[in-house]
Amino acid sequence: MVGLGTTSLGFLGMFHASEYVSPGLATVITNGQPLLAAILAHVFLHERLSWLQRLGLGLGFVGIVVISLPQFGGPAQAGFVAGVAYIAVAASGVAVGNVVMKALGSEVDPLMAMAAQTLFGALPLSVAAIALEGRKAIVWSPEFLVSLLALALLGTALAYWLWFTLLRRVPLSRANAFTFLTPVMGFGFGMVFFGEHLGIATLIGLLFAVAGILLVEATAPYAPRQAPLPVSEAERQ
C-alpha cells in the first residue's frame, strides 16, 4: 500500500500533472495532502489535534496559496481537468501512504520498509512506461544520468528513509506540517542558483506557513517524564 500510494500514484500524478497545469496550482493542490492525511490519521490512527493545531494546518495551507498566487497568471492550458485529476491522485496516494507508514510504526526496519516500498511502487510504473512510452523516450545523456541519480538517491531513497524514521517517533500530523516548507525551500534554492527575487506575496506566504508550523508544533501534547521507580535495598546491593 505504501509503495502503490507514495511511489506509484505519487510520482505518476505529479509528473503528468506538470504537462497540464501551472506550477502554482500544482503546488496548492499538492499541499492539501497534510490536511487529507490529518483527517485519515484522525479516523484510522486516532490522532487528535487541538483547535490551535487545526488552525496551524489551515494557516500553513493559506501560506502555500499566497506563495503560489503569482504563478496563477499563466495562460490556461489544455487538459486542465486532467492536470487537476493527476494532482489529486498524487496527493491522495501520498496521504494514504503516509498513514500506512505511520501504522507500521516500529514493526518494520526503516531501510527494509523503504527499499520494499520503492521496489513495489516502481514495478507498476516500469510496466506502464515500457507499454506506453517505450525506451525511445529516454535520452541517456550525462545530464540525464546525473539528474536521475540525484532524484533516485537523494530525493527518493534518502528522503523516504528519513521520513519513515521520523514517523516512528512523532505523530503524522505534526511531521506533515513541515511539508508546507517545501515550496519555501524551493524558492530559496531559486534565489541562490537562479537569481529569483523575494516578492511581497512570497514573504507573506512564508510568514503564514511558518506561523502554521509553529502552532502545530507548539501546541503538541506534552508527555511528562515518569518519575523513576523506587529502588529496593536488595537491588542497590
Write out residues in the chain with pLDDT < 50, as ranges. 222-229, 231
pTM: 0.74
Distance CA 77, CA 182 (A): 25
Residue 142's pLDDT is 92
Residues whose CB is less than 8 angstroms from the CB of residue 205 and which lie 6 or more positions away in sequence, other chains included = 62, 63, 64, 65, 66, 67, 68, 69, 184
Residue 225's pLDDT is 40
Residue 77's pLDDT is 53
Overall residue count recorded for the chain in this entry: 237
Nearest to 184 by CA among 53, 21, 64: 64
Residue 25's pLDDT is 66
- How many other β-carbons are positioned within 10 Å of the β-carbon of residue 203? 12
Residue 162's pLDDT is 93
Residue 44's pLDDT is 87
Helix 51-68 vs helix 182-194: angle between axes, to the nearest 10 degrees?
Answer: 30
* C-beta separation of 2 from 87 below 8 A: no
Residue 3's pLDDT is 94
* C-beta separation of 174 from 217 below 8 A: yes
Residue 229's pLDDT is 43
Residue 24's pLDDT is 63
Distance CA 30, CA 12 (A): 13
Residue 189's pLDDT is 76
Residue 30's pLDDT is 76
